[in-house]
């Protein structure tokens, strides 16, 4: 007999696998509606999940016509939209290109876990990332007698969720929810709401949380600025002058949604209890990270932050010639010739 904890893990795994299937181009005979309905119904009962309950009710009341010809509708919704096509690859969504750093990072997570992707998709496709989460949760249920292994798998699951699916798929879900298609609208809403539940660690959706984003290890932040784009209220911003770059938080604007935590590729942002919010706007800005500006070695013009440049050097380990080129300002790069 499964323990309550194992039942929860099985239910979560079932949901992840069903969502993965729904975000992959379906085969003509695929029964996506049925598999998603089964997963959401079971999870609604086992997890007391509002997101699963809402999705199960929507899917159960959906007319049969709304679930027919899903392959054609998948193509229309994801590729032939009147708006820009839906980006179902993490690197495309977050970096604007395929096979970027997110592809490499996701693939490395699978490699460390001893998992090989065999569905012909890139490692950072939404369906592959969700399938991996399903594997990690199911593995915890299957090894529930080994507390150390369960703890390690749980840590891997949370780290992967925050670094990869949690940082972009909720936004993809919200975009998909706006599609003119009843089935994929339901899929999109469920994707974003279920992942929000998973990320907060609570099955109770809250409109406002009590924390503020902080940097526990400020030196680990490379000032890439990706967190800034995730903040719906523009509470985070990168400010700079000729000598310094800083990541600033306007406390008076922050409502504690913690989307910035999910958008941080380094995972160095965390949540802290709120102190008294300053009443004066000028006093409400907190500097989370400072770094000196790098300067062009040719003309002396300021370029990026030294923290970001150091992070790039550490990741790419360029030779001296390439390192010098990467240190140049835009104007000098256009004139640069190493020979």
> What are the pLDDT digits (tens) for 243-272?
999 999 987 667 667 888 888 888 888 887
Domains of the chain: 4-200 (1.10.3480.10), 211-293 (3.30.70.3270), 294-335 (no CATH)
pTM of the model: 0.59
Burial 107-145 (b: 16+ CB within 10 A, else e): bebbeeeebebeeebbbbbbbbbbbbbbbbbbbbbbeee
The pLDDT of residue 281 is 38
Q: Under 8 Å CB-to-CB from 292, ≥6 apart: which residues?
A: 243, 244, 245, 305, 306
Whether 8 contacts 43, CB under 8 Å? no
> Helix crossing, 126-142 with 147-163: angle to 10°?
160
Q: What is the mean pLDDT of residues 154-170?
A: 94
Q: How far apart are the first and last CA of the chain?
A: 72
Whether 280 has a pLDDT exceeding 50, the answer reads: no
Confidence category of residue 206, pLDDT binned at 50, 70, 90: very low
Tens-digit pLDDT profile for residues 314-326: 888 888 888 888 8
Distance CA 88, CA 103 (A): 12
């Amino acid at each position: 007999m499964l323990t309550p904890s194992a039942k929860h893990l099985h239910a979560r795994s079932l949901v992840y696998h069903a969502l993965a299937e729904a975000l992959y181009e379906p085969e003509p005979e695929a029964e996506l509606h049925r598999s998603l309905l089964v997963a959401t119904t079971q999870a609604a009962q086992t997890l007391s999940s509002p997101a699963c309950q809402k999705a199960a009710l929507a899917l159960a009341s959906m007319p049969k016509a709304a679930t027919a010809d899903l392959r054609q509708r998948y193509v229309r919704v994801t590729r032939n939209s009147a708006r820009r096509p839906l980006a179902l690859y993490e690197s495309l969504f977050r970096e604007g290109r395929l096979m970027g750093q997110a592809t490499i990072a996701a693939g490395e997570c699978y490699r460390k876990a001893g998992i090989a992707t065999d569905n012909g998709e890139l490692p950072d496709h939404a369906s592959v990332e969700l399938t991996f989460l399903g594997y990690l949760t199911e593995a915890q249920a299957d090894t529930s007698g080994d507390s150390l292994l369960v703890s390690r798998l749980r840590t891997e699951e949370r780290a992967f969720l925050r670094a990869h699916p949690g940082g972009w798929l909720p936004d993809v879900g919200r975009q998909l929810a706006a599609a003119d298609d009843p089935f994929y609208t339901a899929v999109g809403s469920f994707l974003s709401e279920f992942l929000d539940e998973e990320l907060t660690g609570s099955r109770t959706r809250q409109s406002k949380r009590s924390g503020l984003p902080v940097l526990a290890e400020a030196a680990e932040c490379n000032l890439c600025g990706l967190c800034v784009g995730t903040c719906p209220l523009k509470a985070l911003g990168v400010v700079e002058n000729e000598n310094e770059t800083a990541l600033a938080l306007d406390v008076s604007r922050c409502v504690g949604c913690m989307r910035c935590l999910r958008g941080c590729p380094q995972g160095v942002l965390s949540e802290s209890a709120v102190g008294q919010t300053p009443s004066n706007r000028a006093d409400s800005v907190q500097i989370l990270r400072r770094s000196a500006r790098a300067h062009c070695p040719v003309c002396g013009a300021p370029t990026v932050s030294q923290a970001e440049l150091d992070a790039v050097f550490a990741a790419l380990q360029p030779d001296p010639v390439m390192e010098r080129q990467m240190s140049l300002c835009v104007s000098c790069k256009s004139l640069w010739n190493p020979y």
